[in-house]
Amino acid sequence: MDALARYEPIIPEFDAFLEACERHLPTTVRVNSIKATRDRVVDALEAEGIDVYGRDWNSDVLGVATGKPGKTWPYVHGWIHGQEEVSAVPPAILDPQPGEVVWDSCAAPGGKTTQIAAAMDDEGLVVANDDNLGRLSALRANCDRLGVTSAAVTNTDARRATLDPFPGVDAFDRALVDAPCTCEGTVRKNADALEGAGASASRNLAALQSDILERAIELTREGGTVVYSTCTFAPEENEAVVDDALADGDCRLLEFDTGLESSPGITEWNDETYDDSLTKTRRYYPHQNDTGGFFAAKLEVTA
């Protein structure tokens, strides 16, 4: 946990945070409303002898008393998708609507893509992009298993993405940038997550993250929504990246509330200061909701 020590000045109840990072992560699944209702899923899981408990902030997120939800009947038939609870936050913030055109810039393996499609009642277009060809098979497989028909899978560098493959689409209504990151927030399920983590690794990734976010803003219509998220605690990859986007003047931060306990984004880190509006971003720490760690920002495109 030494790699996390640098965050002590910004994380409330730091000892509780460290203790939570060392605990086992509860298993959660997301109900796939394209194929099943919450009640049908609960009945099916309980019929297999699996205890199920709800999560107050999102009725489609369920805790399950099994470490292998992928071996259950509801999973095989596409009624549920194994998804860490806080990972369901960015699509919920994005709030996509039926009939819209939405870009998931870094989509594989597809948990958030399929959540977006379900929120849209599988109506409209979800452009699910990933630059890693080897991960596209998992993305396609999850879309197929979950019955998603509104997704178009693309394989391109998100920094250079265009709308050319989609004649008639002038801009995206919404875009999700769940950016590649140092993944510190996944330490509860991946003991190796902190290997190589640190300020240097975060700074190296920040340029890539900024470029993808900039492209998402460029491709989204005026008045449209862009959500930026990571599963890391590093300000270099979180507030600093959003601050760079704000400096370009083509977007503004929006407030949001998911119902989960969280902390506001920071406006100072080491020798850096960020725009005061960064307090509208949210930091989700493991000890607050017994989840992994996440960061999320909701932006409105203004030009």
| High-pLDDT (> 90) share of the chain, % | 98
Quickly count: other Cβ atoms within 10 Å of residue 246's Cβ: 17
Q: Was domain 26-83 assigned CATH 3.30.160.270?
A: no
| pLDDT given for residue 253 in this prediction | 98
- DSSP secondary structure of 68-79: -GGGSHHHHTTS
299 bridge partner residues = 226, 253
Task: Provide φ and ψ at 178, rounded to 5°.
Answer: -90, 85
Write the burial class of residue 267 (CB in 10 Å: 0-12 exposed, 13-18 middle, 19+ buried).
middle
- Mean pLDDT of the residues in the chain: 97
| pLDDT given for residue 122 in this prediction | 98
Is this prediction's pTM over 0.85?
yes
Nearest to 243 by CA among 269, 219, 220, 221: 269
pLDDT in tens, 167-212: 999 999 999 999 999 999 999 999 899 998 999 999 999 999 999 9
Q: Where are the alpha helices (DSSP H) in 151-293?
A: 199-219, 239-247, 286-289
Rounded distance between C-alpha atoms, residue 33 and residue 39, angstroms:
11
pLDDT in tens, 30-53: 999 999 999 999 999 999 999 999
Query: Rounded to whole angstroms, what are the CA distances from 34 to 47, 121, 286?
Result: 21, 7, 30
Average pLDDT over every residue of 12-18: 97
Annotated catalytic residue, options 143, 181, 231, 251: 231
For 82, what's the count of Cα atoms within 13 Å in the CB-facing half-sphere?
15
- Residue indicated by tokens 């630059």: 131
**Range list of β-strands (E), the chain:** 28-31, 52-54, 61-64, 80-82, 101-104, 125-129, 151-154, 172-178, 220-230, 251-254, 263-264, 268-269, 272-273, 282-284, 294-301
| pLDDT band, residue 2 (cuts 50/70/90) | confident
Sheet (strand 80-82) strand order: 52-54, 61-64, 28-31, 80-82
- Residue 1: is its pLDDT beyond 80? no
Residue 292 amino acid letter? G
Rounded distance between C-alpha atoms, residue 297 and residue 166, angstroms:
27
Rounded distance between C-alpha atoms, residue 34 and residue 25, angstroms:
27
Binding-site residues from annotation for S-adenosyl-L-methionine? 106-112, 130, 157, 178
- CATH number for region 2-16+84-301: 3.40.50.150
| High-pLDDT (> 70) share of the chain, % | 100
Q: Domain segments of the chain: what residues?
A: 2-16+84-301, 26-83
Beta pairing class for 282-284 and 263-264: antiparallel
Residue 110 amino acid letter? G
Q: Is the four-CA dihedral 122, 242, 297, 300 of positive or negative sign?
A: negative
| pLDDT band, residue 76 (cuts 50/70/90) | very high
Catalytic residue status for 231:
yes
pLDDT in tens, 85-125: 999 999 999 999 999 999 999 999 999 999 999 999 999 99
